[in-house]
Amino acid sequence: MGRRTTYFRILLLMAAFTAIPGASAQVRVTTLDGLLEYTKKQSISLKTDSLKLAQAKKARLAAIINVLDLSVNNTLRFVDNTRLPVSAFPAEIFGGQPGTFTNITTGVQYTTTATQSAEVKLLNLPGWENLKLSKININLQDSDNKISLKSLQENIAAAYYNVVTLQEQLKSNKLNQAIADSLYIISESKFRLGLVRQQEVNDARVALLTATESARQSGYLLDNYYLALKILCDIPESTELIIDDAADAASAVLAPQISLNSLDVENSILNERYAKSNYRYYQKQLLPTLSAEFSQSWQLFNTDFSVFNGDWVNSRYFGFKLSIPLPTATQIANTTKARFDYKIAEKNTEQAKIKAGLEHAQLKNDFDKAVSQYLNDKEILALRRDSYTRNMNLYREGIIALDDALDSYNTMIDADYALISSRISVLLARAKIDINNKIN
């Protein structure tokens, strides 16, 4: 009984430790760059892109082998001729009546055949073009991966600064809530002294409720933005993501150098080269191919059931084979489609070159716009805050009504939110320029 009791206690102890919830995984970042570096290592999308590139490199090895298209066959065949063929021969050969025929069974019942054959293409123009296609495809896949990475990082940057914006707004909401609470307390005090009407107390209460609910809604929206960001970064739901960014735009307002990003142009050029090579591939499928052939075989004939016993008869040949394909409806359709795909790819390259220059100008314009708005909103908030402070003092002294104080309070809140948004817009515009310069 003692051993059983001890064993039972050990099981209970193990179960207790298992029941204790472990510390959940946590990802804490203080900058956008930190989150982007984390995503590079963890993103399933980026890992999938790496597999596609590895697949393209393996396809090139297959294309190299396909140029010679070497085929080697080894066969071993055993045949039991259960009913041998019968041939009619003139009877006089066997001493019979002239003009008559004798039925003679021909062949051997058991035949064993071993064959070795090989064929290699000496002239294979479609194979060489396919090899060129595979080389272009590697570069094209690498270019696609860079574009995918750039797009992913831009989306992450937008979602990241959405989170930062809501975090800053939540901080502002708490301050605004405290101010609204102060207004409500002052109005209640004045109401008890008979200095104001109940309507002013109601208005102050409405302002407090609005500020409280605004903070609550910002919290819900922040949770949604966190979920969207975790989806982009492939962070599991069980992993806690914490962003603690100071969001200082003071240094971000300095005009950055903006590189002309040629990713899309290079990708379009590669697509054009691929389409051109693909068109040539279908054209060359209609050209002759020259192959060298070699074959040798051994045959064994037996009248009894025997697979390997007896005398083997050897035969072999070596030669060349010229294959001249005739065009089919499918080949003509594929060639026509490939030709138009090439023409379309040429137009896409022209468009990509124009687009690259315009996007470069747009990055600069978006940054200048964000900085201008930020500096303007910063000055407006200072003025709105000064007006609110003065009106608040006047309201305490009973010089102005609550409506005037609430108006200045609301305009100050709007100015504060506008400054938060414009400050984060500067950081986002700067982040897009950094990504543009880095992934080029």
Residue where the block lists tokens 């995503």: 39
Q: Is residue 191 domain-shared with residue 303, that is, in the same domain? A: no
pLDDT of residue 1: 45
3-state secondary structure of 29: strand
d(CA 399, CA 421): 34
Residue 228 lies in a domain: yes
pLDDT band for position 14 (cuts 50, 70, 90): very low
Q: Is residue 222 domain-shared with residue 350, that is, in the same domain? A: yes
Residue 1 lies in a domain: no
3-state secondary structure of 149: helix
| Residue 402 vs residue 430, higher pLDDT | 430
Q: Is residue 383 domain-shared with residue 423, that is, in the same domain? A: yes
Q: Is residue 61 domain-shared with residue 209, that is, in the same domain? A: yes
Residue 7 lies in a domain: no
Q: Is residue 366 domain-shared with residue 422, that is, in the same domain? A: yes
pLDDT of residue 53: 92
pLDDT band for position 25 (cuts 50, 70, 90): confident
What tens digit of pLDDT does each residue of 166-180 get?
A: 998 888 888 888 888
Q: Percent of the chain, pLDDT > 70?
A: 95
What is the token pair recorded at 269?
A: 């050029």
Residue 11 lies in a domain: no
Q: Is residue 434 domain-shared with residue 413, that is, in the same domain? A: yes
What tens digit of pLDDT does each residue of 42-61 get?
A: 899 999 999 999 999 999 99
What is the token pair recorded at 262?
A: 């040629």
User: Most distant CA pair in the chain: distance in Å?
Assistant: 151
What tens digit of pLDDT does each residue of 93-105 get?
A: 777 788 788 888 7
Residue 35 lies in a domain: yes
Q: Does 340 score more than 90 pLDDT?
A: yes
Residue 249 lies in a domain: yes
- The CATH number of residue 420's host domain is 1.20.1600.10
Phi, psi of 298 (to 5 degrees): -130, 135
**Inter-residue contact 242 to 27 (CB < 8 Å):** yes
Q: Is residue 89 domain-shared with residue 223, that is, in the same domain? A: no
pLDDT of residue 95: 75
pLDDT of residue 24: 57
What tens digit of pLDDT does each residue of 375-402 get?
A: 999 999 999 999 989 998 998 888 888 8
Q: Is residue 201 domain-shared with residue 335, that is, in the same domain? A: yes
Whole-angstrom CA distances from 337 to 134, 288, 329, 370 are: 20, 22, 12, 46
Residue 5 lies in a domain: no
H runs (alpha helix) in 31-124: 32-42, 44-68
Write down which residue in 276, 307, 324 finishes a domain: 324
Q: Is residue 385 domain-shared with residue 303, that is, in the same domain? A: no
Write down which residue in 273, 300, 324 finishes a domain: 324
Write down which residue in 306, 324, 342 finishes a domain: 324
pLDDT of residue 182: 85
Query: 310 lies in which domain range?
Result: 75-122+291-324
What is the token pair recorded at 24?
A: 């959940």
pLDDT band for position 8 (cuts 50, 70, 90): very low
**Inter-residue contact 133 to 277 (CB < 8 Å):** yes
| Residue 83 vs residue 431, higher pLDDT | 431
List, in order, residues 6 or more apart from 81 with CB less than 8 Å away.
107, 108, 109, 110, 111
| Residue 425 vs residue 81, higher pLDDT | 425
E strand segments, 210-311 = 240-243, 289-302
For the CA atoms of 194, 196, 198, 204, what is the dihedral angle to 10 degrees? -130
Residue 3 lies in a domain: no
Structural domain count of the chain: 2
Q: What is the mean pLDDT of residues 131-153?
A: 95
pLDDT band for position 81 (cuts 50, 70, 90): confident
Q: Is residue 377 domain-shared with residue 409, that is, in the same domain? A: yes
Q: Is residue 229 domain-shared with residue 141, that is, in the same domain? A: yes
Whole-angstrom CA distances from 306 to 74, 81, 109, 312, 360 are: 21, 13, 10, 13, 82
Q: Is residue 314 domain-shared with residue 335, that is, in the same domain? A: no
pLDDT band for position 141 (cuts 50, 70, 90): very high
